[in-house]
Homo-oligomer: A and B are copies of this chain.
Amino acid sequence: MPPERKPPFSFELCATAGRARAGLFHTPHGVVPTPVFMPVGTQATVKAVSPRDLRELGATMILANTYHLYLRPGDERIARLGGLHQFMAWHGPILTDSGGFQVFSLAPRRKVDADGVTFRSHLDGSEHRFTPEKVIAIQENLGADVIVCLDECAAPYDYEYNRQALARTHSWAERCKAAKTRRDQALFGIVQGGIFLDLREESARFLTALGFDGYAIGGLSVGETKEEMHAVLDLLDTLLPADRPRYLMGVGTPQDMLACVARGIDMFDCVLPTRTARNGSALTRAGRINLRNARFADDPAPLEEGCSCYTCTHFSRAYLRHLTMANEILGHHLLTLHNLHLMLTLANEMRVAILEGRFEEYRMSAILAEES
């Protein structure tokens, strides 16, 4: 009999502070300290920055989008070229989503049935079909460290739609788990159920009974209130196992991250820092700065006093405004560096505060402005 191999994944809980958790998520491409913010690399690139920029920023794990990469350049092509890590020259951990959210938000003329979902490409209108088995096969071709189950993200306030969508999501989770063949990829289930606590509880119980390497929480930050989101997280904290990472999909702002770590979340991703950067806005602890505002035209100050990022240590708001007004690529790059730096730094500060037993104190003093 061969010796038992150490599983390539484990989640080590290092410390807690209230419900906030500091952990170490072990993956084949490295250890991810949590809480973690994962920059979004939709098309196999975090927009406007390079892998060496990401490393310098202290990013440990990034996300890529199954829907986009399946359509272009194609998951089979990426597999032929050595997989996603090799293709994009990012040798740290990667998570791919299931494509479900994109199909239900981006693709025109989608039609869902019990077996899967048929949709048209937003690129060329061509028809495609995702089933649980197909989505696992695509993600196995891409080769990320963490893959997730196909799910259906329903409108948050429609109970009947959420009930029906949840039945499909659960059936698809079973089929995804059965379809998975690679031992070097972790599979996360996705808890759904909108704002409805009974559906969320049903979902958490169903998925934890099936058993996954981690649990994603989908269908939040899609229009519901903060109170509704927090109520769902308060419930799930009591239902999800402590020894598995919890990933809140598509969230969020600096304020969200702080509030949700306090509710037991370990992993985050969001396009906010990269997208707002390309719109000419900087995230700071004191609130958002829109560089199109004329008051920055002669401002010699950095985006954020005391920030140690390359942008803040070299360039003025006046220069960044000039780049923004002139639509220069360097403006997108420099704002992206700063915005990612803030999110990654906040996640790291939270981790240290949890480890040092002063998370609540940190949370109160983090001097984050109210969201505008």
How many copies of this protein are present in the complex?
2
**A50, B298: Cβ atoms closer than 8 Å:** no
**A89, B314: Cβ atoms closer than 8 Å:** yes
CB contacts (< 8 Å) of A326 on chain B: these are: 43, 72
Which listed residue, B300, B314, B332, B334, touches A81 by the CB 8 Å rule? B300
Given the known A-B contacts A297-B73, A322-B73, are A329 and B87 also in contact in the complex, defined by CB atoms under 8 Å?
A: no
- Interface residue? A44 (CB, 8 A): yes
Q: A109–B44 Cα gap in the complex (Å)?
A: 45
CB contacts (< 8 Å) of A315 on chain B: these are: 89
- Interface residue? A310 (CB, 8 A): yes
Which listed residue, B48, B87, B332, touches A318 by the CB 8 Å rule? B87
**B48, A329: Cβ atoms closer than 8 Å:** yes
CB contacts (< 8 Å) of A329 on chain B: these are: 47-48, 329, 332-333
Smallest Cβ-Cβ distance to A80: which chain B residue: B298
- Interface residue? A51 (CB, 8 A): yes
Given the known A-B contacts A297-B73, A334-B50, are A318 and B43 also in contact in the complex, defined by CB atoms under 8 Å?
A: no
Chain B nearest Cβ from A209, distance in angstroms: 40
Pick the 6 closest A-B CB pairs, nearest first.
A89-B314, A48-B329, A45-B330, A73-B322, A43-B326, A45-B328
Q: Measuring CB to CB, which residues of chain A are less than 8 angstroms from any residue of chain B? A: 43-45, 47-52, 72-73, 77, 80-82, 87-89, 297-298, 300, 310, 314-316, 318-319, 321-323, 325-326, 328-330, 332-334
20 A-B pairs whose Cβ atoms sit less than 8 Å apart in the complex: A43-B322, A43-B326, A43-B328, A47-B328, A47-B329, A47-B330, A48-B329, A52-B310, A72-B326, A77-B297, A80-B298, A81-B298, A87-B316, A87-B318, A88-B319, A89-B314, A89-B315, A329-B329, A329-B333, A333-B333
